[in-house]
Structure 1
Amino acid sequence: MNDTERDWFKSSYSTGEGGECLEVSYPWRKSSYSSGAGGECVEVSPCPHAIHIRDSKHRDGTGPIFTVTPTPWSHFLAYATTP
């Protein structure tokens, strides 16, 4: 995966009747805490009001995406990176 891969989807504000569709995307990147050996990659997509996390084995949208707000995510990162 490159750093510019995006997951496009139709906005919930679009009517579905055609002509008014707006597509938005999440910019996914591999976590710096994932090893380069493969098999245990975590990808994150930081957005202004949410952080989206997924397993890189499910880039096709078949797997779950965990979403958390920035405050708990920053607490988790502080805990996870403490030696």
Structure 2
Amino acid sequence: MNIDTGVLRSLIFIKERGTFLSAATELNRTQSALSQQMALFEEQLGKPLFIRKGRNKVLNDEGMRIYKIAKLIIQLTDEIKTSPAEI
């Protein structure tokens, strides 16, 4: 299974911004597009990542586990992008 780093970044933004709307705004996307992206990601993984709390969705235990892994992956990919080329 290939997982796009864009999906991981979206998950991180949702967690750290607190709402899908805040994350979508910062990512210059619609809330609907972000919700659809996360629904497809959950389908790809075969498990839910969010639970509903009032009007918002928050990460469940599995979502938090994936979030922590996503943070590491994104940190490493960002490091690759910014590392100076060595000859």
> TM-score with structure 1 length normalisation?
0.27
Q: Which has the higher helix share?
A: 2
Q: Which has the higher strand share?
A: 1
Larger Rg: 1
> TM-score with structure 2 length normalisation?
0.26
